[in-house]
């Protein structure tokens, strides 16, 4: 069972939930990232799954990202500092965020999703 965090009425979250179901994955109901954020452990899993690239976890187009100037700070942050910040501020996390506890993905890139979740993106 894959946990999905996002915004229920967001078309990107809905699109990826539908895609994953079409590929045979079972998903939880969408967890509202405003109210429930991924755990630090889940964020760490995503960091490794996404190639240890901090920006792959970040909602770089979000208002909060811009207002706190995270673009200029992220390269100086330790991974643990980043995970703590993302856990506290879910709107900084690229959505949707999917995890089964062993691997995780962020965003809507079919290339990343098919690599991590091992499905044929042409299907």
Task: Parse the chain into domains and list their residue ranges.
Answer: 3-117
Instruction: Select 3-117's CATH number: 1.10.3720.10, 1.10.730.10, 3.20.20.80, 3.40.30.10.
Output: 3.40.30.10
Q: What is the pLDDT of residues 25-84, one digit of tens each?
A: 999 999 999 999 999 999 999 999 999 999 999 999 999 999 999 999 999 999 999 999
pLDDT tens, residue by residue, 96-107: 999 999 999 999
Whole-prediction pTM: 0.93
Residue 15 in tokens: 């699109």
The DSSP code sequence of 98-115 is: EE-SS-EEESS-HHHHHH
């Amino acid at each position: 069972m894959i946990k999905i965090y996002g915004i229920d009425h967001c078309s990107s979250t809905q699109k990826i939930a539908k895609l994953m179901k079409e590929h045979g994955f079972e998903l939880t109901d969408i967890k509202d990232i405003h109210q429930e954020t991924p755990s630090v452990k889940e964020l760490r899993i995503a960091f490794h799954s996404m190639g240890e690239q901090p920006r792959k976890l970040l909602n770089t187009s979000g208002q909060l990202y811009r207002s706190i100037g995270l673009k200029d700070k992220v390269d100086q942050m330790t991974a643990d500092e980043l995970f703590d910040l993302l856990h506290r501020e879910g709107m900084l996390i690229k959505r949707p965020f999917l995890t089964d506890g062993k691997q995780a993905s962020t965003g809507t890139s079919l290339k990343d999703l098919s690599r991590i979740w091992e499905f044929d993106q042409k299907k």
